[in-house]
Structure formats: structure tokens, C-alpha cells
């Protein structure tokens, strides 16, 4: 175990931590502001990667895929938050979305059970779906959603339901193959310093995480919006009392969280690949970051990510026998001693 | 008309009617197929179904001249779900046989069902060694049409030694399939005089090999890797990115056609072994690859070929049985004596497992079969014919040693 | 409000109808019903934690898995549990589930709410990792195959006989849990769910109450695991994977947390969708996800909450609605 070994392992651990920072910081912020553990976070990561693949195959540009995928998923996040995690407002849109989805399922069911009604034709399918949609919309408008903002557990469970829908949706849209994102040639090289190889892509991940981290920190510390966010994290009721629109803050933070997760997905796509099941593999990792770093704290997320990246890396290299536990055992110990996470506050 | 005549007429009509009706229901072969059609293994499930379905489509949905009722059930990648669906197929759909299963654990879970329900189970994917070796006697109605995990890797070990490699590091996914693949390679390699000097076991699903690559010893001649799924995509990239230029010798799933289309140029020159390659240069394989690709939009993987050939095996066996289902025990006897000219090459059986060609193949970028783009193909560089699950050891001697595991063969030369 | 006696009568009647109809509905239905019932015991045990004590756990599969592995290991390595000693294995299964919960509870109970969710997830994953790596005991990812079902005068290899046995366990578990939640101990659990601080002020040792509830849930989880091992004849790390715990949570929420019967109803629906609908159409995952999302949005008290929701709608009950919700943990 010479110096070269330690240097390379440390570098690997830091670069892995950079990716985890992207995934975990979003989760941490969402929890800090909304007190929800967003269990669809892994799905956002996955969809970010898949959308990037589509962008690349459509335009050939990897650089474009980063912002496009991240923004697209941020929009999905906003939609989910506004329509489903809040019961007031947007009821029309929500009912329309649910009605449309129900209608498609009804149409599929009818075509499976009584194929003669639909035959193979698209027109008949859409006609049946349209009728079902109108009927469903009418019924839904008569029922009201019970207020969900205050019930954290319900919101958490809702994100689980969506996680399953996202997973199946990804499978139907992009298929089940193990895919890989190919970054431009320059990033696939390795830089050699002192005889040690440093893959350029890992450096890119570190750079990306630094840039994003600094950008968010600046927003949080130096802008009014950031101050409002920090106030909401500290004490939501007081913040409302002072006149801060915590509703809008929630939307912004949820979108930001989704944005970060998707960015992680694009960045990670060239490093981990994109394939079904990746969403539920990333979720415990994001949890680990948030738990160790503490919820709601950006700085905590950075430290947590670094800690998990390094611990996971060195743990697997030095104690390969317990590879399956290097992540979960420390999580348990930390939570047992300090349930709010190393840097969390409560 | 007298009433007696009426009765005779009525009776004859009934008899004729029954005679006409009876053969129609007996002349049908009901096949249950269990594959993961949803969940994270959905694509392999699709390949499995597509392979079998293509053979049926090419033969007018008949096997051995008998109409086939092909029922596919989703096992969702879970062994207990596979057992449930198998029982549904047997008890409700009254299938004559059930085929498939994906994971090795699913193979293990389905084997007892063949006993308890006295129905033939053909495993067209699960490769766990012992199902046709040390545990074969427990499951007399189990038949395998593809491979055992260690089968292609014995000749690969021999080949590696013949190439002059003396010291090899193995890095393989930490689960039973990985152990059996490495075991096969190590046994043959070391019996020839080679040495495995280090064994690394990243957990199944590892995609960041950062912790493992720097621990690789510098004095190895080559690296034997067994990667599955997403691991296969990332390992070669990361190994080369770390500056390590040693030749990679891969296990069956490290470079097979399931992952190859998504790999980059860094894998050109990497070698692996399996009973199938889409680049086998025979007319039969060329026709198969072209037809499959035209129909399903992708190059067939060994899951596709394995199930296509399974359909072929059933076809030939039913022909030998005269177009009538002879019962599971007799059918196994017939299959066991078949000699098939399959897409992958000549095929026969020993102890309910194939005896077949094993292809040592190398990744090359070229145009093949008249396609107009340069693509990655597993070019065959050497063929070992008539390889059985016991390699050159003989059945008694082979079964006397324990099943390949994490600790067997032991790493005698690990420094 | 519907009185307790009427509720009990309804449930008993439903069970009676169920146990009569199923054996006449074909072997596949019998198989599904058996699997659903074994898993329903796990779901109901989670309801004790979630619905009655207010603790959402994402790690119940650990106790389930431990009970299943114990059964499989005893059956294959020690040839124990295939005759009259089956009943002993049942007891051992309950004990090992409870013991593991006792150990894990020491770590977990301190945390509240979301942290409890995460620490139970981590603990569950640790057990999964152990099942995967401890090859010599658990067979690693190949799992353990059991060669047949116990036979003690009653041949459990017969699917219908086995169905009746599992039904007996299922009904007994439901009955026991019912007695538990209506006992003073059970009532204090509900009190803890509503206002833990108030219970503490009143002098209750809330930590101990939660801990005991956790152990009881673990015990029932172990029992469910024993039955599960025999139902499938095979145990592998898949039994303990995270989605198993999530499934159990889904079932409780779907059926209605805090109703006990809700867990069983949720189990029936999820199994029906996963295992029955999946034989008919390939897009069943959307139905499952959709049912789940819609239930949470419109029926937060699960399907068991439909009667009260209807009542509320028809009797101008907006105020009642928000009152009931105020009592939900937030």
C-alpha cells in the first residue's frame, strides 16, 4: 500500500462523493424545507439519465443533454409537487391528468377483454379513452382530495407510489437494456501526474459538484430567495408569520431537488450506466448522504457525500469481506447515536 | 323409421362426433414459459420469449407437427413468483412442460416443482452447475438446454494457459454464478500450470470499480473478469481509464451480445468464451442473426439463441415421439439421445446438459453479414468441440470435488 | 359509529365466506390465497406499528426473512421441522423474529418519524447483506430449497390442506392482534400515536411501550416468515429485499392503517394485482401504482375508510373530516 494507492483511492472516493453530493443535496433540501423524504428521488436520477440519452441520440450533443435533462426533470418535479403534494389549487389540472391516465387504462382494459370494440385501430382507442376521460373527470371533480400538506407520512407514501409508476414508465419508454452515456472524447482520457492516472471524467464530476455547490451556496447566502429558504428550513411557521410565501419556496426547492438529482443522473450515466433498477439502487445512497450530513443542511450534504464516498471506497478496498455492509452499518450507528444525522438540527 | 334404427343412427352420430372431437384436444402441445417480462430483467425476459417465439413463427406454430399453445407468464425476477406462476401453468393451464426461469436461484426454486407436480422443467437460462451435477439425482425431471456456469470457462482456462499467460488476477461479481465461472477457469488454468495470484470479488451490481482497480497486483499477465449487466459496461472503461493495459479475458456474460452493442471501442481485443456468438460464421447462424435482427431490431443474445434452440430441441424430440406427447420421463429419454444441428453448432447431451462447441471469441469492430456499418462483434478465434459440463476430467472425478465456491478452488498462489 | 360487535360479526362472516369459497375456485386461487394470507400476517403486524403506534417502518422484511431462513435451515441442515416438530419451528420462528426486533429496537426506537423510517431501512438492508454473504448458512444468492412440506398426520403437501392450516394461523393472528389493540396496552399505543408528549406527562413509559410493540410486530413477522418458507418451498435473499418491506407498507396504507383488517385487504389487493392481473395484462404495474396513488389522495384512511368517507360526504361532514385528520400523525 504505497502512496500511489492512497492517492488514487482518495481521488476515487472524492469523485464518487461528488456524484453523491448531486444526488443527496436535493434530497436534503427537500427534507429541510418540506419535511418530506422524497422516495421518488431515485426515479428523478434515472429519468435524468434516460432523457439525456434521448437528447444525445436526437441532437448528438452531450453538452446539451445536461441542462435539458435536468430542466425537464425539474418540470416533472414541479408538476408532481403542485398537482399531487398539494391539495389546493390546480385541482382542474390534477383531475385532468388523473382522468387521462385512468382513461388510457380503461381503454387498455377494454381492448384486452373485448378486443372487438377496439380492434387494432388508434382512432377507436382514443375515442373510448376520450369518453372514459370525460366521465372520470366529471366524477373526480365531485370528490375532493383531503388536505395533504400537513400529513407528512401520506406525502412520503405518495412519492413511493410515483416511484413505481416512474420505474415502469421508464421501462416502457426506453426499454430494459443496460445503456451507457458516452461523453465527448476529451473526457474519456486520463491525465497522468507523477505516473498516476487520473481519469478526466472523474475530474469533471468533482468540478461539476464544486460549481453546483458553490452556486447554490451563493444563492442561499446572498440572495433574498436564499434567505427565505433558510428561514423556512429553520422554522416554517415563523417564516410564514414574517410573510414569506413558504408555498412558493416549497415549489422552488422541490424543483431544485429534482434538477440536482437529474443532473446527477446525466453525470452518473457515463460513470454508472443507465438501466432499470438504478433508481432504487441510488436511493439508499442518497439516504446515506442525508443521514450522515444531516437533513436540510447543504454544507452537511457536502460533508456527508464526501464521507460516504471515501468510506465506501476505502471500506471496499481495505475490507472487501464486508462490502455489502460498508454503507448500512455506519448509517445505523450514526442514527442510533444521533438520530438527526451528524450535522442535523432539530 | 323404426326406433331401433333411430337409436343406431343416433348412436353412430354420437360416436362419430366424439371421434371427431377427441383428437383435436389431444393434438395440442401446451408449453408454459416463465420469464421476467417486467421488472429490472425485463429485457432479458423479452429476449427469451422472442427467441422461442421466432422458432414457432418459422414453423407455423407447430413443433413436431403438433399445434402449440404457448403461454408466457411473468416471474418478475423473483424466484417465489416463478414458483407460483409455474404452479398456475401446471394446475390451471395443464401444460405438458414448463420452460425458462432466469436467475440461478429461480432455477433452484423451480426444480422441486418438477418433482412435486411431476412435470418436465426445461431450464433454458439458469446455469447453476449443481442442478445437473451434484444435485441432479434430486430432480429427475429437470433438463437443461444451454450451459452450466463453469462449462465454457474450463476451455477458456486452457486457452489462456496455451497463450502463455502465467499469472492471472480474477475479478468477478460476488455471488454463486461468479464463483462457478471463476472456479471453472481457475481449475483448468492451474491444472495446465498457470497461477491465479489474486481474487477480487466486487459485490453484484458494483459499477464504481474505483476501490478495486488500484489493489490489482502489478505482476499479473492478464485479468480474468466476470461481469454481469451494467457491471460489464463499466469495468473495461474504468480499467483502461486507470492506465491498466493488461489483456482482459472475460467470462461468458462479460462481453455477450446483450451488452456488446452498448460498449465503446475500449473493449476491442478483449476475449471471452461462451457456447454462442452472434458472429459464428456459419450459414445457419447468419440466417438466424439476420432474421432475428430484422424482426426484433437487435442482434440476438445468447438468451435469444438458447430459447430458439430449445424450441428446436422440442421440435425434433416430438418428431421422434411420432407427434404424440409420451410423458415427461420418456420425453427426457428422447431429448437425451438427440443430436441437433443448432444455430450455435452441433449439440448433444450428457446427464441432461448440453455437450457442445465452446467458442473463444475476441471483440472486433467490423462489418459482418453484409450489414453496412462497422460494429462490435465477437469474432470466433478458436473452437473447442464437444465440451461437456465435466471438461476433460471425467464424471466421477469431477463430481468428487466440491462445487465451485468462493473458496474452492483455493487460492494457493495468492500472495 | 358502527359498534364493535357488528364489526366483529362482519369480519367473522367475511372470513367464513372466504374459507368456504376459495377451495372451490381452482388450484391457482388456492395458491394465491395461501400466499396472500401468509404475507397478510406480516402486513397486519406492520399495522400494529404504523396504524396503532404511529411508527412507519421500512424494515419489517428482516423479521420475515429471519423466520423464513430459520425454517429452511432447520429443514435442510438439521432435518428438523417436517413432522410434529413443525409446531416447534413455528414457536422458534416467532421467538427469533421477536429477538431480532428486540435487538434492532434498541437502535431504532429512539428515533422518531422519518429517522425511524431510515434506520429501519438500514437495519433491514444489513440483514439482507448478511443473507447474501453468509454463504455457508444461507446458501448465498442461490437460496435454500426445501424438499417438501411437513407431514404430521395432516399432509401439508396437499395445497388445500395447507390452505386451511395457513388460514387458521391467519385468523388466529388477526384475533390475537385484535385482542392486543383493544387491551389497555393497545389503547396506550394509540394514545402514543396521537400525542406522545401527553402520554409521557401522564406517566407512561412511552419508549417501553413502543419497544414492546416493535417486538410483538417482529414476532408476528417471524411467524409469517415460517409460513412463507413452507408456502414457496424456497428461501433466498429476494425474500428480504427492500421492496418486500415497501410492499408491506403499501398494503397497510392501501387497506387502511389502524384497522388491522386493512392489512389483510391490502395484501389481497396487491397479491391479486401482482400475481393474478399479471397473468392477464402486461401493464398491471400502472394499475398497482395508480390504485396506490389514488387511495392516498382520496382515501387517506385506506379502503377501510370508504364507509366513513361516504358517511361524511352525505352528512355535510366537512368538519368531521378535518377533525379525523387532525388526529393523524403529522
- Cα gap B355→B348, rounded to integer Å: 5
The answer to whether the beta carbons of residues C104 and C123 sit under 8 Å apart is: yes
CATH architecture of C4-297: Orthogonal Bundle (1.10)
pLDDT above 50 for B14 = no
Assigned domain for B162 exists: yes
Please name the member of B74, B87, B108 whose beta carbon is closest to the beta carbon of C143: B108
User: What is the model's pLDDT at position B22?
Assistant: 40
pLDDT average, residue stretch C108-126: 82
Q: C326 falls in which pLDDT band (50, 70, 90)?
A: very low
pLDDT average, residue stretch B291-309: 94
Cell numbers at C328, concatenated? 393523524
Percent above pLDDT 70 for chain B: 93
- Cα gap C135→A195, rounded to integer Å: 40
Q: C329 falls in which pLDDT band (50, 70, 90)?
A: very low
Nearest to B35 by CA among B15, B50, B54: B50
Whether residues B259 and B378 fall in one domain = yes
**Which residue of B lies nearest to A326 if distances are taken between CA atoms?**
B203
Assigned domain for B132 exists: no
Residues A200-209 as b/e (b if ≥16 CB within 10 A, e otherwise) read ebbbbbbebb
**Which stretches does DSSP call E strand in A118-217?**
190-193, 196-199
pLDDT average, residue stretch A39-68: 92
**Which residue of C lies nearest to B80 if distances are taken between CA atoms?**
C232
CA distance B38 to chain C (A): 8
pLDDT above 90 for C277 = no
Whether residues B110 and B56 fall in one domain = yes
- Cα gap B285→B287, rounded to integer Å: 5
pLDDT average, residue stretch B19-41: 73
Count of C-beta atoms within a 10 Å radius of residue B205: 16
Q: C327 falls in which pLDDT band (50, 70, 90)?
A: very low
Q: Which residues between 79 and 98 in chain A have a beta carbon less than 8 angstroms from any beta carbon of chain C?
A: 84, 98
Contact A161 C293 (CB under 8 A): yes
Assigned domain for B368 exists: yes
- B369: domain range? 149-280+356-415
User: What is the model's pLDDT at position C102?
Assistant: 94
Whether residues B168 and B238 fall in one domain = yes
How buried is B353 (Cβ within 10 angstroms: 0-12 exposed, 13-18 middle, 19+ buried)? buried
pLDDT above 90 for A341 = no
**Mutation test of the interface with chain C: which of A157, A319, A320, A333, choosing the one with the most C Cβ atoms within 10 A?**
A157
Count of C-beta atoms within a 10 Å radius of residue C2: 10
Cell numbers at C165, concatenated? 392450516
Contact C289 A165 (CB under 8 A): yes
Angle between helices C261-271 and C159-182 (to 10 degrees): 150
Whether residues B381 and B309 fall in one domain = no
Whether residues B255 and B383 fall in one domain = yes
Give the dihedral of Cα atoms A265, A271, A272, A273; nearest 10 deg: 80
| Neighbors of chain A with 3 or more C-beta pairs under 8 Å | B, C
pLDDT above 60 for A158 = yes
Whether residues B71 and B118 fall in one domain = yes
Which residues on C lie below 8 Å from A160 (Cβ)?
Answer: 246, 249-250, 292
Full 3-state SS string of B312-363: HHHHHHHHHCCCCCCCHHHHHHHHHCCCEEECCEEEEEECCEEEEEEEEEEE
Using a CB–CB cutoff of 8 Å, tell me whether C135 touches chain B: yes
Nearest to C330 by CA among C145, C114, C154: C114
Of the listed ranges B52-56, B270-274, C241-245, the one predicted with least confidence: C241-245
Whether residues B153 and B215 fall in one domain = yes
Assigned domain for B255 exists: yes
User: What is the model's pLDDT at position B67?
Assistant: 93
CA distance C157 to chain B (A): 9
Assigned domain for B169 exists: yes
Whether residues B361 and B402 fall in one domain = yes
**Which residue of A lies nearest to C295 if distances are taken between CA atoms?**
A158
Provide the CATH number for the domain around residue B222.
3.40.50.2300
pLDDT above 50 for C321 = no
**Which residue of A lies nearest to B234 if distances are taken between CA atoms?**
A272
Which part of chain C has CATH 1.10.3470?
Answer: 4-297
Q: What does pLDDT average to over chain B?
A: 89
User: What is the model's pLDDT at position B24?
Assistant: 39
User: What is the model's pLDDT at position C310?
Assistant: 75
Whether residues B286 and B275 fall in one domain = no
pLDDT above 70 for C330 = no
Domain C-terminal end among B343, B369, B390: B343
Of the listed ranges A114-128, A150-164, B64-78, the one predicted with least confidence: A114-128
pLDDT average, residue stretch B348-375: 93
pLDDT average, residue stretch A193-217: 91
Give the dihedral of Cα atoms B245, B247, B251, B257; nearest 10 deg: 80
Domain C-terminal end among B293, B313, B343: B343
pLDDT above 70 for A120 = no
The predicted-structure confidence for A232-261, as pLDDT tens digits, reads as follows 877 878 888 888 888 888 888 889 999 999
Non-local (6+) Cβ contacts of A287 within 8 A are A27, A331, C118, C121, C122
User: What is the model's pLDDT at position B391?
Assistant: 92
Assigned domain for B134 exists: no
- Mapping DSSP to helix (H, G, I), strand (E, B) and coil, where does residue B70 land? strand
Assigned domain for B136 exists: no
Whether residues B271 and B365 fall in one domain = yes
Which residues on C lie below 8 Å from A336 (Cβ)?
Answer: 106-108, 110, 119
Q: Report DSSP state, residue B403.
A: P
What pTM was estimated for this model as a whole? 0.86
- Cα gap C312→B343, rounded to integer Å: 67
Nearest to C258 by CA among C329, C166, C152, C160: C329
Contact A323 B263 (CB under 8 A): no
Cell numbers at B319, concatenated? 418428431
Of the listed ranges A78-92, B173-187, C172-186, the one predicted with least confidence: A78-92
Whether residues B176 and B246 fall in one domain = yes
Assigned domain for B4 exists: no
What is the layout of strands, in order, in the sheet containing B66-74? B62-63, B66-74, B28-35, B97-100, B120-123, B142-144
Percent above pLDDT 90 for chain C: 29
Q: B17 falls in which pLDDT band (50, 70, 90)?
A: very low
- Mapping DSSP to helix (H, G, I), strand (E, B) and coil, where does residue C38 land? helix
The total domain count for chain B is 2
How buried is C89 (Cβ within 10 angstroms: 0-12 exposed, 13-18 middle, 19+ buried)? buried
Whether residues B275 and B293 fall in one domain = no
The predicted-structure confidence for B115-160, as pLDDT tens digits, reads as follows 888 999 999 999 999 999 998 898 999 999 999 999 999 999 999 9
Contact B85 C279 (CB under 8 A): yes
Of the listed ranges A32-36, A241-245, B384-388, the one predicted with least confidence: A32-36
Domain C-terminal end among B343, B372, B389: B343
pLDDT above 60 for C47 = yes
- Mapping DSSP to helix (H, G, I), strand (E, B) and coil, where does residue B143 land? strand
Which residues on B lie below 8 Å from C31 (Cβ)?
Answer: 84, 87-88, 91
Which residues on C lie below 8 Å from B88 (Cβ)?
Answer: 28, 31, 279
Percent above pLDDT 70 for chain C: 95
Q: What does pLDDT average to over chain C?
A: 85
User: What is the model's pLDDT at position B101?
Assistant: 92
Non-local (6+) Cβ contacts of B312 within 8 A are B55, B340, B342
Amino acid at each position: 500500500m504505497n502512496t500511489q494507492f492512497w492517492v488514487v483511492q482518495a481521488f476515487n472516493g472524492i469523485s464518487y462523493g461528488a456524484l453523491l453530493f448531486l444526488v443527496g443535496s436535493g434530497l436534503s433540501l427537500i427534507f429541510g424545507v418540506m419535511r418530506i423524504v422524497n422516495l421518488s428521488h431515485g426515479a428523478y436520477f434515472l429519468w435524468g439519465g434516460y432523457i439525456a440519452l434521448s437528447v444525445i441520440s436526437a441532437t448528438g450533443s452531450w453538452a446539451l443533454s445536461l441542462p435539458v435533462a435536468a430542466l425537464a426533470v425539474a418540470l416533472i418535479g414541479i408538476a408532481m409537487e403542485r398537482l399531487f403534494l398539494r391539495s389546493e389549487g390546480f385541482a382542474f389540472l390534477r383531475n385532468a391528468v388523473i382522468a387521462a391516465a385512468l382513461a388510457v387504462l380503461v381503454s387498455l382494459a377494454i381492448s384486452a377483454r373485448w378486443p372487438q370494440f377496439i380492434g387494432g385501430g388508434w382512432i377507436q382507442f382514443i375515442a373510448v379513452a376520450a369518453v372514459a376521460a370525460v366521465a372520470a373527470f366529471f366524477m373526480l371533480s365531485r370528490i375532493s382530495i383531503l388536505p395533504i400538506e400537513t400529513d407528512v407520512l401520506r406525502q412520503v407514501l405518495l412519492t413511493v407510489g410515483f416511484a413505481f409508476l416512474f420505474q415502469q414508465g421508464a421501462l416502457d419508454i426506453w426499454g430494459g437494456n443496460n445503456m451507457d452515456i458516452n461523453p465527448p472524447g476529451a473526457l474519456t482520457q486520463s491525465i497522468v501526474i507523477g505516473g498516476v492516472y487520473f481519469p478526466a471524467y472523474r475530474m469533471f464530476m468533482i468540478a461539476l459538484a464544486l460549481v453546483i455547490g458553490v452556486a447554490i451556496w451563493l444563492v442561499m447566502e446572498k440572495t433574498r430567495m436564499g434567505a427565505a429558504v433558510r428561514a423556512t428550513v429553520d422554522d416554517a411557521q415563523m417564516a410564514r408569520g414574517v410573510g414569506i410565501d413558504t408555498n412558493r419556496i416549497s415549489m422552488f426547492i422541490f424543483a431544485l431537488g429534482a434538477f440536482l438529482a437529474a443532473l446527477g443522473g446525466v453525470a452518473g450515466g457515463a460513470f454508472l450506466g443507465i438501466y432499470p433498477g438504478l433508481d432504487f439502487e441510488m436511493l439508499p445512497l442518497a439516504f446515506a448522504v442525508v443521514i450522515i450530513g444531516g437533513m436540510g443542511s447543504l454544507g452537511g450534504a457536502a460533508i456527508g457525500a464526501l464521507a460516504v464516498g471515501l468510506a465506501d471506497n476505502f471500506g471496499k478496498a481495505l475490507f472487501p469481506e464486508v462490502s455489502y455492509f460498508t454503507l448500512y452499518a455506519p448509517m445505523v450507528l450514526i442514527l442510533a447515536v444521533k438520530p438527526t444525522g451528524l450535522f442535523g438540527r432539530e | 323409421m323404426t326406433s331401433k334404427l333411430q337409436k343406431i343412427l343416433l348412436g353412430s352420430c354420437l360416436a362419430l362426433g366424439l371421434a371427431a372431437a377427441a383428437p383435436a384436444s389431444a393434438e395440442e402441445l401446451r408449453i408454459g414459459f416463465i420469464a421476467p417480462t417486467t421488472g429490472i430483467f425485463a429485457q432479458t425476459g423479452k429476449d427469451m420469449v422472442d427467441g422461442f417465439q421466432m422458432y414457432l413463427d418459422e414453423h407455423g406454430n407447430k413443433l413436431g407437427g403438433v399445434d402449440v399453445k404457448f403461454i408466457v407468464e411473468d416471474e418478475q425476477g423473483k424466484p417465489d413468483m416463478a414458483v407460483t406462476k409455474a404452479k398456475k401453468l401446471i394446475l390451471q393451464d395443464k401444460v405438458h412442460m414448463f420452460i425458462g426461469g432466469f436467475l440461478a436461484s429461480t432455477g433452484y426454486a423451480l426444480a422441486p416443482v418438477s418433482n412435486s407436480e411431476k412435470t418436465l422443467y426445461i431450464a433454458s437460462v439458469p446455469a447453476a452447475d449443481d442442478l445437473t451435477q451434484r444435485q441432479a439425482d434430486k430432480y429427475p425431471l429437470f433438463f437443461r438446454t444451454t450451459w452450466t456456469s463453469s462449462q465454457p470457462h474450463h476451455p477458456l482456462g486452457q486457452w489462456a494457459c496455451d497463450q502463455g499467460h502465467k499469472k492471472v488476477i480474477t475479478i468477478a461479481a460476488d455471488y454463486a454464478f461468479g464463483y462457478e465461472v471463476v472456479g471453472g477457469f481457475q481449475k483448468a488454468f492451474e491444472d495446465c500450470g498457470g497461477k491465479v495470484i489474486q481474487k477480487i470479488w466486487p459485490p453484484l451490481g458494483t459499477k464504481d470499480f474505483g476501490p478495486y482497480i488500484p489493489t490489482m497486483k502489478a505482476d499479473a499477465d492478464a485479468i480474468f473478469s466476470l461481469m454481469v449487466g451494467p457491471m460489464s459496461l463499466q469495468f473495461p472503461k474504468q480499467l483502461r481509464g486507470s492506465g491498466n493495459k493488461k489483456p482482459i479475458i472475460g467470462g461468458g456474460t462479460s462481453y455477450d451480445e446483450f451488452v456488446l452493442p452498448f460498449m465503446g471501442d475500449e473493449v476491442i481485443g478483449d476475449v471471452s468464451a461462451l457456447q454462442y456468438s452472434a458472429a459464428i460464421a456459419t450459414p445457419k447462424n447468419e440466417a438466424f442473426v439476420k432474421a432475428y435482427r430484422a424482426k426484433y431490431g437487435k442482434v440476438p443474445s445468447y438468451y435469444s439463441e438458447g430459447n430458439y434452440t430449445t424450441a428446436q430441441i422440442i421440435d425434433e424430440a416430438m418428431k421422434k415421439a411420432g407427434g404424440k406427447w409420451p410423458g415427461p420421463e420418456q420425453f427426457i429419454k428422447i431429448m437425451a439421445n438427440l443430436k441437433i444441428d443448432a444455430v450455435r453448432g452441433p449439440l448433444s447431451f450428457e446427464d441432461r446438459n448440453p455437450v457442445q462447441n465452446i467458442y473463444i471469441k475476441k471483440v472486433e469492430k467490423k462489418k459482418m453479414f453484409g450489414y453496412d456499418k462497422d460494429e462490435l462483434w465477437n469474432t470466433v478465434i478458436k473452437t473447442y468441440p464437444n465440451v461437456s459440463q465435466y471438461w476433460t476430467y471425467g464424471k466421477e472425478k469431477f463430481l468428487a470435488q466440491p462445487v465451485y465456491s468462493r473458496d474452492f478452488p483455493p487460492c494457493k498462489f495468492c500472495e | 359509529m358502527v359498534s364493535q360487535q357488528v364489526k366483529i360479526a362482519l369480519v367473522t362472516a367475511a372470513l367464513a365466506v372466504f374459507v368456504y369459497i376459495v377451495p372451490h375456485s381452482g388450484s391457482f386461487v388456492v395458491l394465491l390465497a395461501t400466499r396472500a394470507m401468509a404475507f397478510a400476517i406480516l402486513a397486519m403486524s406492520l399495522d400494529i406499528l404504523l396504524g396503532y403506534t404511529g411508527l412507519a417502518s421500512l424494515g419489517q422484511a428482516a423479521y420475515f426473512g429471519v423466520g423464513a431462513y430459520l425454517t429452511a435451515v432447520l429443514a435442510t441442515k438439521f432435518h428438523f421441522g417436517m413432522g410434529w416438530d413443525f409446531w416447534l419451528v413455528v414457536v422458534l420462528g416467532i421467538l427469533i423474529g421477536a429477538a431480532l426486533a428486540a435487538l434492532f429496537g434498541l437502535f431504532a426506537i429512539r428515533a422518531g418519524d422519518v429517522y425511524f423510517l431510515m434506520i429501519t431501512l438500514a437495519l433491514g438492508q444489513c440483514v439482507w447483506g448478511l443473507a447474501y454473504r453468509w454463504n455457508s448458512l444461507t446458501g448465498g444468492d442461490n437460496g435454500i430449497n426445501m424438499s417438501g412440506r411437513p407431514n404430521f398426520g395432516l399432509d401439508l403437501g396437499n395445497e388445500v390442506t395447507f390452505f386451511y392450516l395457513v388460514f387458521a394461523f391467519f385468523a388466529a393472528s388477526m384475533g390475537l392482534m385484535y385482542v392486543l389493540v383493544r387491551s389497555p396496552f393497545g389503547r396506550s399505543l394509540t394514545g402514543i400515536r396521537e400525542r406522545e408528549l401527553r402520554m409521557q406527562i401522564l406517566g407512561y413509559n412511552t419508549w417501553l411501550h413502543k419497544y414492546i410493540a416493535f417486538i410483538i410486530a417482529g414476532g408476528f413477522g417471524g411467524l409469517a416468515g415460517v409460513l412463507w418458507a413452507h408456502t414457496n418451498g424456497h428461501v433466498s435473499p429476494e425474500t428480504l429485499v427492500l421492496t418486500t418491506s415497501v410492499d408491506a407498507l403499501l398494503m397497510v396504507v392501501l387497506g387502511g392503517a389502524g384497522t388491522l383488517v386493512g392489512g389483510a385487504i391490502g395484501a389481497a389487493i396487491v397479491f391479486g394485482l401482482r400475481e393474478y392481473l399479471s397473468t392477464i395484462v402486461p401493464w398491471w404495474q400502472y394499475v398497482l401504482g395508480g390504485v396506490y396513488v389514488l387511495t392516498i389522495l382520496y382515501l387517506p384512511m385506506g379502503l377501510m375508510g370508504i364507509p366513513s368517507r361516504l358517511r361524511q360526504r352525505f352528512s355535510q361532514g366537512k368538519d368531521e373530516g378535518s377533525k379525523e385528520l387532525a388526529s393523524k400523525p403529522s
